[in-house]
Structure 1
């Protein structure tokens, strides 16, 4: 049974948050004992806090006696301004991208060294990676992550490249020099292509989404089976969706520079 360190004073909000933080995508259902252990709380304290959270609707208990995140908490989380505003504005463009490709379409934002998926539209393709809204992946292993990392500042990129890079398949980028070259190519071309990095059968094509001041705040991608990928055909469709969302957010691309004509 977990015991709290008597020398450590934890506030009530901190303990409540530790209970909620016990849940993640790898641990969506937990027993009271599991919650106590993962939150670092005594069983008595965990029982009291879980009871309060369940009464409010943040947690729900199933017939087996295990706890899950409750719908009330999902309702509150959905109000997060960054994700909510982006989803509302982006959805028509994401739906158009789906209609153009009939493939899996997704949108993600950056949170630290990870991407967080804020929208996912399932296509006809059966690829090995199954993403839920709210799921997280390392930046270097996904198309959306590469698009977001490529347009971050140089110091942020170097800090990311300097740390150990998680491996998911033999094709996952693990060499910092290779990652730097990939990021440079993303900036040059304006799109990111990630092939077989998370699973052996998936390829994604991603493009950045900009806000009114031109900052990259999100990325859009299409995920397809690698064996059937028609990358040249996917790139313009993904670019079009990303540019449409960016314009809806107030971004105005710089006009193409025309050669000046000499006056007589």
Structure 2
């Protein structure tokens, strides 16, 4: 089986596992395999095999010949709820930053080698950006990614570099040495800049949201047209918002 075929099979399996978990509805306590197969439209034999895998991973639990949602899902849900709290706490400050700069404001976290956008407050006159809530983007090509990496353990940066630094925009940093030097400056100043590294004509200014130990939990940024936004002029507002959030969040 070639790599493409393996990826296709993996994607199909993941889709079926998701469908089985999503088959539970409000009020469902336990469901039998036959009912799960009916709701998902998959053969009973396939449903039985995949249910066994989910039970093994703690995502489902067996009870009297049926299954219920497992405690592992509850644990994962608590992590998601904690991050929802980050968005709720940040939203008023993001809105204020948007009003002050009239540009699009992002709140993002690092997942692996990519940033994930938790919230976006779009500016009326800002460019149409490829970012979306829940969307991902290579960390090295974004100001939020660089802001987080600069205040994270060094191994995270090495992981990003090892995964490759592909060119995303016309001025993406693709040289590891240059990226390292820029992150050193970010750590000194508390501000990260991205100039046409994610998309042509776009500039971004970001600052990290730090925990009590000084490590980045997230980053806040503003994005706008490179020929309109004066990065150094808006940087203090971005920095102030990030520092305020760092003190506000538990």
Q: TM-score, normalised by structure 2?
A: 0.69
Partner of 1:144: 144
Q: Aligned equivalents of 1:204 and 1:82: distance in 2?
A: 27
Which has a greater percent of helix?
Answer: 2
CA RMSD, aligned part only? 3.1
Q: Hey, what's the Cα distance between the residues in 1 that align with 2:149 and 2:19?
A: 30
Could you say which residue in structure 2 is the equivalent of 1:33?
none
Q: What does residue 55 of structure 2 align with?
A: none
1:262 equivalent in structure 2: none
Q: Deviations over 1:23-60 (max 9, x none)?
A: xxxxxxxxxxxxxxxxxxxx9559x97xxxxxxxxxxx
**1:128 shift after superposition:** 4.2
Residue matched to 2:181: 181
- TM-score scaled to structure 1, two decimals? 0.65
Q: Could you report, residue by residue, the CA deviation over 1:219-258 in whole angstroms, capped at 9, with x for unpaired residues?
A: 00000101112112111100111011111014xxxxxxxx
**Contact persistence 2:203–2:226 (CA under 8 A):** yes
Paired residue for 1:40? none
Aligned to 1:107: 107
- Aligned pairs for 1:78-97 (under 5 A) are 80-97=80-97
Q: Secondary structure at the match of 2:220?
A: strand
In structure 2, the CA distance between the partners of 1:79 and 1:177, relative to structure 1 (3 Å rule), is closer
Q: Which residue of 1 aligns with 2:167?
A: 167
- Cα separation, partners in 2 of 1:177 and 1:87, compared to 1, 3 Å: same
Q: Which runs of 4+ in 1 moved over 4 A?
A: 43-46, 76-79
Superposition pairs of residues 39-54 of structure 1, within 5 angstroms: 45=43
Separation (CA, whole Å) in 1 of partners of 2:222 and 2:249: 21
CA distance in 2, matches of 1:212, 1:158: 24
1:78 is displaced (CA, Å) by 11
What is the number of equivalent residue pairs in this alignment?
A: 193
Query: How do 1:28-47 and structure 2 match up within 5 A?
Result: 45=43
Hey, what does 1:230 align to over in structure 2?
Answer: 230
Summarize the Cα distance change of 1:19–1:242 in structure 2 as closer, same or farther, 3 Å threshold: same
Gaps of 5+ in 1: 21-42, 50-75, 251-264
1:111-135 per-residue CA deviation (whole Å, 9 max, x = no partner) reads 1111000000010234242321101
- Structure 2 alignment gaps of length 5 or more: 22-40, 48-75
Task: Give the equivalent residue in structure 2 for 1:29.
Answer: none
Give the aligned partner of residue 18 of structure 2. 17
